[in-house]
Structure 1
Amino acid sequence: MKRRYPLLVRKKVERLEYAASNRRRHDNGSSQQSSVAETPPQRLMMAAAELVENGGRLEMASVAARAGVSVGLSYHYFRSKAGLIAAVVEDFYDRYDAEVIDLNPLPGHDWAARERRRVELMVDFYLREPLAPLVLARLSMEPEVAAVDAQRIARHIKLAARNVEGARRKGHLPAGPDASLLVGMIMGGLRQAVGQVLAGHVPRDRDRLVEDLWGFISAAAGLGTQDR
């Protein structure tokens, strides 16, 4: 915990700085303001896009050069290469949560319709996101990244379990295993299945993938094939 806490504190500050710079850019509306809006941590994280270019390999010196900051400043913000990678992965999950987890994809519809739409959003996010194959596989081997990964997965399971419990209370889902156990099994299966597609072991057919994943979810949740 001691290793993670300073990083998480710094990322909180970075988010505040980034939000403030975005507000200034929006308020001023000038190209000059836009060009200086990014803070050094944000420039470093954008420069770390070489993670994708190099298949997950990253060197602090080259990232710092690309971001236009000193190597020392890079270590000041992120402490280590693994710390920078963890920040990039946390940003990945921030975007994933905003686009997939933390929204009602179909307000006013029943559970099955909403969650099938969520599967579509999940598949679209993973298929267009260059970092997805690395986040789902290689990057989690770093302890700092594994900590971020575990924290987000635990959050996703907690939220999904509440979702299932609510659907059961409303009669949208039948009774079944403990909700946390159920969603843990479902999420583990989804992660492995999507990972197979991103690794190239299964064809990248978006519509077929959505149908297959939704069929798995609906069967595991007890909906039956008629709700696919």
Structure 2
Amino acid sequence: MARPPVGRQQLLEAARDELVRGNGVMELSALTRRSGLSTGALYHHFGSKSGLLVAIYDGFYQGLRRATADSHLPADADWATRERERARRSVAYQFAEPLTPILFNRTALDPELTELEAAYIQGMIDMAADNIRQGQALGQLPEGVDPDSAAAYLIGGFRHVVAQQLRVVPRPTPDQAAERLWSLIATTLGIG
């Protein structure tokens, strides 16, 4: 995979650091100080502050997709075993990613991101619904479960449970949080 140009990468890393440090707030002056680059570099690489935030969101969701890709899952396992591992990998990624609490606990960092985030979430819901249909076709999930409704419920719930688990003191381990989530997923899908 090709690395982005140095100035672009510096801005991305500095912006991520600023968002974490500022709990979701990123001032351009702090960003330029941290990156060592000018606001002109920001506009050159991203077009606007919103463009930079879009790149950060995209990086987060691309990382999540890579972490939970089918290639990381046991190919010869039944649906529940495979999806339990996907849930574990998803939680592990989100617990390790410092931006997760910011992205999951704020409506949007920028008004222009609201539509983008909705598209990411809808994409996850669509993939989950297809996955549920696959489990039903294999005879490993009950036919009475509506895949589209269950997927929307699970993806929305998953995000909120991860956000809640990240706020709990003491914070559970990723494996503990994943087991809690899997219990809810299994119950929802009738495979408890």
Structure 2 length-normalised TM: 0.89
Q: Any idea what SS the aligned residue of 2:121 has?
A: helix
**Structure 1 position 103, deviation (Å):** 4.0
Q: Distance between the aligned counterparts of 1:130 and 1:104, measured in 2? A: 22
Secondary structure at 2:112's aligned position in 1?
Answer: helix
Which residue number in structure 2 is paired with residue 124 of structure 1? 92
Q: Distance in 1 between matches of 2:130 and 2:71?
A: 14
Does the alignment pair 1:109 with 2:77?
yes
Per-residue deviation, residues 189-223 of structure 1 (Å, max 9, x unmatched): 11111111112367423333222111111111111
Checking the alignment, whether the CA contact within 8 Å between 1:60 and 1:74 is kept in structure 2 is: no
In 1, the alpha carbon distance for the partners of 2:183 and 2:34 equals: 45
Describe the superposition over 1:92-144 as per-residue Cα deviations: whole angstroms up to 9, x where unpaired. Answer: 11111111255451111110000111111011111111100001012625222
The one-letter code matched in structure 2 to 1:159 is M
Percentage of pairs with the same residue: 34
Name the structure, 1 or 2, with higher relative contact order (CA <8 Å, separation 6+): 2
Counterpart of 1:165 in structure 2 is 133
The worse-fitting range, judged by mean Cα deviation, of 164-173 and 198-207 is 198-207
Question: What's the C-alpha RMSD, in Å, of the aligned pairs?
Answer: 2.0
Contact 2:24 2:109 in 1 (8 A): no
Work out the CA distance in 2 between the residues paired with 1:103 and 1:181: 26
Query: Which residue number corresponds to residue 61 of structure 2?
Result: 93
Q: Give the TM-score of the pair, scaled to structure 1.
A: 0.76
Matched residues, number: 191
Q: 1:189 aligns with which of 157, 162, 173?
A: 157
Which entry has the higher C-alpha Rg, 1 or 2?
1
Distance 1:134 1:102, change over 3 A: farther
Cα-to-partner distance string for 1:139-188 (whole Å, 9 max, x where unaligned): 62522222221111111111111111111011011112321111100111
* CA separation of 1:156 and 1:202: change in aligned 2, threshold 3 A: farther
| One-letter amino acid matched to 2:89 | L
| Structure 2 unaligned blocks of 5 or more | none
Partner residue of 1:81? Answer: 49
3-state secondary structure, aligned to 2:94: helix
From 153, 161, 178, the equivalent of 2:121 is 153
Structure 2 partner of 1:69: 37
- Contact 1:59–1:81 (Cα < 8 Å) also in 2: no
Residue 43 of structure 1 corresponds to: 10
Q: Does structure 2 conserve the Cα–Cα contact (< 8 Å) formed by 1:164 and 1:179?
A: yes
Tell me how far apart the structure 2 counterparts of residues 200 and 67 of structure 1 sit (CA, whole Å). Answer: 33
Change (3 A) 1:126 1:154: same
Distance 1:137 1:97, change over 3 A: same
Letter in structure 1 aligned against 2:13: M
AA at the equivalent of 2:9: Q
- Measured in 2, the distance between the counterparts of 1:103 and 1:155 equals 19
